[in-house]
Amino acid sequence: MARLRCVLVLALLLVTTQLPGDAIAGRGHGHHGPAAHDYRDALAKSILFFEGQRSGKLPPSQRQSWRRDSGLSDGASAKVDLVGGYHDAGDNVKFGFPMAFSMTMLAWSVVEFGGLMKGELQHAREAVRWGADYLLKATAHPDTIYVQVGDATKDHACWERPEDMDTPRTVYKVDAGTPGSDVAAETAAALAASSLVFRKSDPAYASRLLARAKRVFAFADRHRGSYSTGLAADVCPYYCSYSGYQDELLWGAAWLHRATKSPTYLSYIQLNGQVLGADESDNTFGWDNKHAGARILIAKSFLVQRVASLHEYKGHADTFICSMVPGTPTDQTQYTRGGLLFKLSDSNMQYVTSSAFLLLTYAKYLAFAKETVTCGGGAVVTPQRLRAIARRQVDYLLGSNPMGMSYMVGYGPRYPRRIHHRASSLPSVAAHPGRIGCSQGFTALYAGGANPNMLVGAVVGGPDLQDKFPDQRNDHEHSEPATYINAPLVGALAYLAHSYGQL
C-alpha cells in the first residue's frame, strides 16, 4: 500500500535554509572524525532484505530462513513461466514497474560502488540476478512484456502469507495493442544496468541481458503509450505512471548508452532528449519519475568519458543538484526539524535513499572531473558538500534522529517492530504449518505485538513531518518497507562504509 501516491502536503515546513546541526558541514563526522554508524553492518542488512522479498523456488542459500517457496505456478494462467522475482513491498503482488526500477537502482548501486563492497558484493550480485532472471522471463516473447502477476485489489483484500496465496494470480501484459513505454523502457534500463553488473563475472549472462535490453527498448520506443492507460483498472492506484513515459525512454536510452557505448543511443539522446524532458525542473526521483536520475547518468558521459556533445547534461544535472542543496537560490528542499528530507507523507524514505544515492554518485563524477556545481548567485557546491548532505540523510535513517530510532529493521538497538508486511507479521510456515486464510490473517494486522519474523534490513516508509513514528502495523504510509527504498541505499552504504574504513 505504500505505492499509493499521496498529494504533497502543501504546508510543508522549510525550517531553515541550512540543515540542522552538522548536516551540511559534516562537523564531527566525515573522513576526519569517527563514523556515526556501522555502515558495513547496515550494508549487509540492506542487501539481505531482498531475500525476504523473494517469490518463487527459494535456493538452499536462502538466509531469511523463515520464508518458504511461493508463487510456483505464477504465469500458468497465461501459459508462461513467471515464477520468481520480488514482491514490491508488504503485499504479495509482483508489480513489474517498481520491480524493474528497484533492479535498475540495485544494479546501479553495484555498478557504481560494488568495487567497495568486499564480501557483500556476491550477495548484491545474487540479489540483482534474482530480479534480472525474472525480467528475462517477463520479456521472453518479442513485443510482449508481462508487467504484473496478481490481482492487486483482491490481494489487498487479504492478509496472508505468500506461501498461502489463494487470490487470483492474474497475469497482465503490455504489447503492440496495449503499449506501455514506461514499464517497457524501465525494464530495458534494468536489463542494461544488470548486464554491467555481470560483464566481468559472467560475460555470457551479461550479453544475454544486454541483447534483451536492446529489444525491449526498441519495443518501448516503437509502440509509445503509458501502461496505466490500457491497464488502469489493474495497476492504479498502486503504480500508475503519473509522470508519463517520456522520462523512462530517456532513462532507458541512457542506460543502453552506458552499457553499449553505441552511437545509436548517443544519437537517440541527442535527438530526443529535450522532447523527453531532459531539462524539466522536477526534482523528485523514484519509481515513477526518472528524469533526475537520467540527467545524472548522462552527465557522467560528459564529466568522465568527455563526450563533449552531452555537455548540456552537466547543466541539467546541476539544476537538479542545486534544487537539492539548502541555501542555494533555487533550493526546493524541505526538511523536518530533525533534518530529514521530506517529499511525501507516504513512503517518504524512498526519496531520502534515492536522493542520497544521486548526490553521492554525482559527487563521484564531479570529483573525477575536478568540477563543482555553481548554483546562481555565486554559490559553489563541492563534491564534499554533496557527500555531507547525503551522509546526514543516511545517518538520520540509521538512528541519528529525534526518535533515536533506526528505520532499518534489525539495525541498532531501536527499530520498527510492527512493520506493515504480511509475511513478517504472520507466523512462519515452520512455526505454523497450517494454512492461514485470507480473512484470518487480519487478526495479525491489528494485533499489538512485534512481528514474529524479523525482515532484517527492511527500511520502512519512515517518520512524519514532525519526526514522529508510531510503529503501527496498519499504518502503511510509515511502516511499510519496499524494494525501491532499499535499492539505492545499498550503494550509499557501500560508499560510506568504505569512506570510513569499515570495508
The reply to whether 476 belongs to the active site is no
DSSP string, 74-98: TTGGGTS-----B--SSSS-EEHHH
Catalytic one of 420, 476, 478, 498: 420
- Scored b (16 or more CB within 10 A) or e, 117-154 reads beebbebbbebbbbbbbbbbbbbeeebbbbbbbbbbee
State whether the Cα torsion 454-456-459-464 is positive or negative.
Answer: positive
170 within 8 A of 231, measured Cβ to Cβ:
no
Are 4 and 237 spatial neighbours (Cβ–Cβ below 8 Å)?
yes
* CA distances for 251 relative to 271, 363, 424, 434, angstroms: 14, 20, 34, 46
Model's pTM, two decimal places?
Answer: 0.94
Within a 10 A sphere around the Cβ of 404, how many other Cβ atoms? 10
Stated length of the chain: 503
Q: Which of 275, 279, 64, 56 has its CA nearest to residue 169? A: 56
In which element (H, E) is residue 383 found?
Answer: helix 383-398
Instruction: Answer yes or no: are the C-beta atoms of 101 and 186 closer than 8 Å.
Output: yes
Assess contact for 461 and 409: CB atoms under 8 A: no
One pLDDT digit (tens) per residue for the chain, 503 residues: 544 443 333 333 333 223 333 232 232 334 557 899 999 999 999 999 999 999 999 999 999 999 999 999 999 999 999 999 999 999 999 999 999 999 999 999 999 999 999 999 999 999 999 999 999 999 999 999 999 999 999 999 999 999 999 999 999 999 999 999 999 999 999 999 999 999 999 999 999 999 999 999 999 999 999 999 999 999 999 999 999 999 999 999 999 999 999 999 999 999 999 999 999 888 999 999 999 999 999 999 999 999 999 999 999 999 999 999 999 999 999 999 999 999 999 999 999 999 999 999 999 999 999 999 999 888 999 999 999 999 999 999 999 999 999 999 999 999 999 999 999 999 999 999 999 999 999 999 999 999 999 999 999 999 999 999 999 999 999 999 999 999 999 999 999 999 999 99
Q: Which three cell numbers stand for residue 40?
A: 558495513
Q: Find out whether 419 and 479 touch, Cβ atoms under 8 Å.
A: yes
Kind plus residue range of the DSSP H or E element containing 148: strand 144-149
Task: Determine contact, residues 296/358, Cβ cutoff 8 Å.
Answer: yes
Task: Give the integer Cα–Cα distance in Å for 421 and 206.
Answer: 33
The amino acid at 385: R
